Structure 1
Amino acid sequence: MEEDAGKLMHSGNGSYVDLNRAGVPLLEIVSEPDMRTGIEASEYAAELQRVVRYLGVSNGNMQEGSLRCDVNVSVRPIGQAEFGTKVEIKNLNSFSAINRAIDFEISRQVNLHSQGQQDSIVQETRLWEEGAQKTVTMRKKEGLADYRYFPEPDLPEVVLTKAYMDSVGKSLPELPEAKRRRYEEMGLSMQDVLFLANDIAVADFFDATIQKGADVKLAANWIMGDIAAYLKNEKLSINDIKLVPHELAELIASIKSGTISGKIGKEVSCIEWVGGALGSVSYSRLLGKTMQITDLVDIEKMVDKVIAENPKQLEQYRSGKTKLQGYFAGQVMKASKGKANPGILNKVLVEKLNAKV
């Protein structure tokens, strides 16, 4: 652990010191040197971000400095046991930058080895230049002395007992990997699993929805489809919308049972997303107002009326232009304001249009 000492901001006019975060506690996590590619390292960093967000200890936003990443890169000939000279890379403010910087540095060092210039690889700190897509020397380091480490006499050793660590482990919430495994066991595809578990807020919304009895796959489809598209367009998080899990579960159940159509379901949910003027109307009453018409007699009356009002189209249909069935269906749906059950409507329509005169 350490304290934030501020950060340097580099521009074409010079370098500036930003002290806004000075004194903020930092927790440094050091991995073992067992990653071999840029994508592997960037995925590791992304998983760390998910973990700290799941734990609620940080928002993990790299652009705000809440999560930072420096990487150390070294290469060695095949068969060589010891690692090569380590080079540190800074100024990495995104996971894609981590990926590209590591791959560039690996390539740079391998090229030097292949040219017999491995001695020119020295322990140093390099910066990643996003515009040029390359690393450049920032400062040279000879060894640990250059870091100016010294003991702090006022900081005693901290001893963590196994019992304490076990108790902390038991208190942890479900972490990303465990959540992904649970979602897989539900029968969700890997695409669904990765999307839902990536954001703790989305995962919580999904879990709360299925706990209210919603179909697992339908809940995933709604969250990954219409809701995700709305959030992206409006630049919102799922916690910002008015729709809540039990309402989405009710909506899904209504669509699945045929009480309302999928189209009406989207219209209802959109009102909730944008916080429309529902006033004192409850969500259940709102669904009630948009229920599908499934009564056979009511649908037959609407079909008879539409056929009677369109004798020319009826004659054309019976003369062989059967595609006009879609026209009649559209007119009935228009008359019912989209509430007529499509399955019942089409069955009645076919019978009426093909009835012998």
Structure 2
Amino acid sequence: MNTTPLVQGYEVVIGFETHAQLCTRSKIFSRASTAFGAAPNTQACAVDLALPGTLPVMNHQAVVCAIRLGLALGARIAPVSVFARKNYFYPDLPKGYQISQFELPVVQGGVVEFFLGNEKKSVRLVRAHLEEDAGKSLHEDFFGQSGIDLNRAGTPLLEIVTEPDMRSSEEAVAYARELHKIVTWIGICDGNMQEGSFRCDANVSVRQPGQALGTRREIKNLNSFKFMQQAIDYEIRWQIAQIEDGHPIRQATVLFDPDSGETRAMRTKEDAADYRYFPDPDLPPLYISDQMVQEQRALMVELPRSMAARFVAQYGLPEYDAATLTQSQAMAAYFEAVAGGCGQPKLASNWIMGEFSRRLNADGIGVAQAPVAPAQLAALIARICDATISNNAARQVFDALWADPAGEVDAIIDAKGLRQMNDSSALEQIIDAVLAANADHVAQLRAGKDKAFHALVGQVMKASKGQANPQQARDLLRVKLQ
């Protein structure tokens, strides 16, 4: 059965090329710094400037990063890979070519698995290859001038290329989020999209079901997940409109304008032959021994998908909960601390995915900056489980903890008078008074109007100032009404 979604009768086909800037202190072929934010052209050495007589020298840590990605994605790590010169002429490319990899990349194959809603998806990878970044053109509109900043020239990148496996903008964004999570989780990229550390290019085409792949257009340098989805959706609509109007789609590189919400052509798209790839004579083949791979395998942290599977098996969580809680190492560690402290993993999951995450998003902070410590949330959940407080009261306690991180759960409960009334004799007296004062609701209930029961429960909760145990109140009320 074909479950591929169609847009106006067309099938969408999307592939990704992602440039992940590697976490190294120096550049891929020189010792110049990769630190962000320096004054223009202060971190470009003779090698980056391609001055005569300079030679590139491979950065060992960049190779380590490539190995770690290959291990994380279940890919083949090539024992021998080759660097090539990719020839093109831009002002921000001093050498007139980019050192990259073509026929023999360092990482081959692999897969990225993720959830789209509750549906598990996977995207196959073609390759991930090491390369250097180019510089940056700076356009000063006020003066009508342009300049070149070569601080980024030579910054180490891994370009991660997928098969055209994605069929919607939602799926493409979910893939990008998962890849972003993986590269930051294993510590090879800081993932800062605003600084250009994680840049995505989306290759988008459309076709009618059963037809050959359509002509693709590449949307360059998507540096936010929000703009990524907007750009792909616009490009899909544009291509379908062009085809419906009888116009051919021509291969091109396009940019997305967030202000207009539209893509616009930047240049015709080059093919591999246009770049005149050939092996770089200044760099020998890159040899990676099995010992080096095994050393990195031993140093690898537990990966998100493995941790999610463990959460399902160890804590009995649904797959969706486990995938959500392993969005970051910090979130996963927070969950395990809370679950261990209260002994209620599903309740811990609900609170962390719900109220805790809502407050993080509202305040624009990460898990590490959360004012409520795992031990505090665990103590709060324990007080819900032993019926000391209701769920509504628990939210009040949580708000107090968020406002005052030094707070203590039991002290807040007592100070706010939130302890539930579990004394059945005291609760019976309140119920008797409520029934006596609400004879009309009692009559409605006996006449078969079930809503009257909920109204009586509300009156009991109001009379007890919210301290009655709701379930106990309902049970005693039913007994009284019988």
Alignment TM-score, normalising by the size of structure 2: 0.56
1:238 and 2:238 are equivalent in the alignment: no
1:215 and 2:344 are equivalent in the alignment: yes
* Percent of aligned pairs with the same amino acid: 31
Q: Which residue of 1 aligns with 2:174?
A: 43
**Distance in 1 between residues matched to 2:271 and 2:476, nearest whole Å:** 86
Range with bigger deviation, 190-199 or 14-23: 14-23
Larger Rg, first or second structure (1 or 2): 1
CA gap 1:276/1:250 in 2 versus in 1, 3 angstroms: closer
> What CA RMSD, in Å, does the superposition of the two structures yield over aligned residues?
4.5
CA gap 1:36/1:256 in 2 versus in 1, 3 angstroms: closer
**Distance in 1 between residues matched to 2:256 and 2:246, nearest whole Å:** 23
1:165 and 2:296 are equivalent in the alignment: no
Matches within 5 A, 1:127-138: 127-130=255-258, 131=260, 133-138=262-267
Residue 214 of structure 1 aligns with an amino acid whose one-letter code is G
Alignment TM-score, normalising by the size of structure 1: 0.72
Range with bigger deviation, 229-238 or 6-15: 6-15
SS in 2 for 1:70: strand
Q: Map Cα deviations across residues 271-316 of structure 1 (whole Å, 9 max, x no partner).
A: 11222673xxx33444566432322344346557x56xx97x2666
CA gap 1:34/1:19 in 2 versus in 1, 3 angstroms: same
| Contact 2:312–2:319, Cα closer than 8 Å, also in 1 | yes
Residue 158 of structure 2 aligns with an amino acid whose one-letter code is E
1:227 and 2:353 are equivalent in the alignment: no
Q: Map Cα deviations across residues 208-256 of structure 1 (whole Å, 9 max, x no partner).
A: 2222243222112112222222233333333332212222222222212
Residue 223 of structure 2 aligns with an amino acid whose one-letter code is N
| Contact 1:73–1:105, Cα closer than 8 Å, also in 2 | yes
Q: Which residue of 2 aligns with 1:254?
A: 383
Matches within 5 A, 1:265-304: 265-275=394-404, 278=407, 282-287=408-413, 290-300=418-428
Q: Which residue of 1 aligns with 2:48?
A: none
CA gap 1:146/1:257 in 2 versus in 1, 3 angstroms: same
**Distance in 2 between residues matched to 1:303 and 1:205, nearest whole Å:** 42
SS in 1 for 2:191: coil
Residue 381 of structure 2 aligns with an amino acid whose one-letter code is I
**Distance in 2 between residues matched to 1:67 and 1:252, nearest whole Å:** 38
Residue 222 of structure 1 aligns with an amino acid whose one-letter code is W
**Distance in 2 between residues matched to 1:319 and 1:106, nearest whole Å:** 61
**Higher helix content, 1 or 2:** 1
**Distance in 2 between residues matched to 1:296 and 1:332, nearest whole Å:** 13
| Contact 1:126–1:135, Cα closer than 8 Å, also in 2 | yes
Q: 1:58 aligns with which of 175, 189, 212?
A: 189
**Distance in 2 between residues matched to 1:116 and 1:347, nearest whole Å:** 71
**Higher strand content, 1 or 2:** 2
Residue 395 of structure 2 aligns with an amino acid whose one-letter code is K
User: CA shift at 1:59, angstroms?
Assistant: 3.5
Gaps of 5+ in 2: 1-129
Q: 2:309 aligns with which of 170, 175, 181?
A: 181
**Distance in 2 between residues matched to 1:3 and 1:166, nearest whole Å:** 26
Gaps of 5+ in 1: none
